[in-house]
Amino acid sequence: MTSSPDHGPPWGSQFRLVASEKWKAKSAAMGQPVTDALVEYAQPAPGMRVLDLASGTGEPAISLALRVGVEGHVTALDLSAELLEIAAQRAQARGLNNLAIQQADAHNLPFPADIFDLATSRFGVMFFRDPELALREVFRVLRPGARACLLAWGPFDQPYWQSTMGVVHRHVGGPLLQPGGPDPFRFAAPGSLSAILQNAGFRLVEEQTKTLPWTWPGSVEEVWEQAQAVAVPFRPMLERVPQRKWPKIHAEVHAAVRRYSDGEKIAFGATVVLASGRK
């Protein structure tokens, strides 16, 4: 998931690339049930031409490419060329010749009108500079009758966030997120994502909130390290932490996360919002 170039932090920056490489297998395992839920919700069919927005390192674009088959095609779009290169390598390793990468801004899609049968985005729409403008672009490039299917985070008040960034916030106070900056919980309020789809011109709009598995296959220490590395919207808060407070914060986060651990894996669960509309 990548923000617009004139708004937000450097999603393609080196620290995120390093984190993506270090934790790619375990991060993929944690996110797979969410990816699967979006793919099932989107109902891709063999032969479809699909646009996946804010693809990052390749999901759900890769899962969609597997579903549409050799007669179909998936375009994985993101602002970060570096992350898309990882996506291309992952697709190549799976022998997928029906997936192409496209570096571009979701607010100005480089495609003609009426060419895609389906558009998806997993954990991307929250970070668009102007979600309504981006979804109007999606509307433009979809064929009549085609669907846009989106997945966003639900509220901050859920185990994964409360046991990690919530602990930090209780120690440092101030804003949880930078005012005017990227907000993972932008569409947590019921109906807010549906409203954006409707305003962008979509019809037959629907929305649902689901709690899905969100399980880290490893240690408490690992998942906290990974969370700090990839949670870019929280970086301003993390940078406010005085050095002397870090040992206590680490200890409290480990204790909070351990409540969801069985010694081999950490089962948080994730509350997400799924929404769709039809052109």
Per-residue pLDDT at 2? 38
Q: Is 122 helix (H, G, I), strand (E, B) or coil?
A: strand
Task: Give the tens place of pLDDT for each residue, 219-269.
Answer: 999 999 989 888 889 999 999 999 999 999 999 999 999 999 998 999 999
Q: How far is CA 64 from CA 25, 47, 256, in A?
A: 19, 11, 35
Mean pLDDT to the nearest integer, 187-198: 98
Interval 10-32: pLDDT, tens = 333 444 555 556 777 888 899 99
Where does 14-278 sit in CATH, by number? 3.40.50.150
Q: Say if residue 9 is preceded by a cis peptide, omega within 30 of 0.
A: no
Residue 160 has a CB neighbour count (10 Å cut-off) of 22
d(CA 275, CA 194): 6
CA angle 201, 3, 45 (to 5 degrees): 55
Residue 191 is predicted with a pLDDT of 97
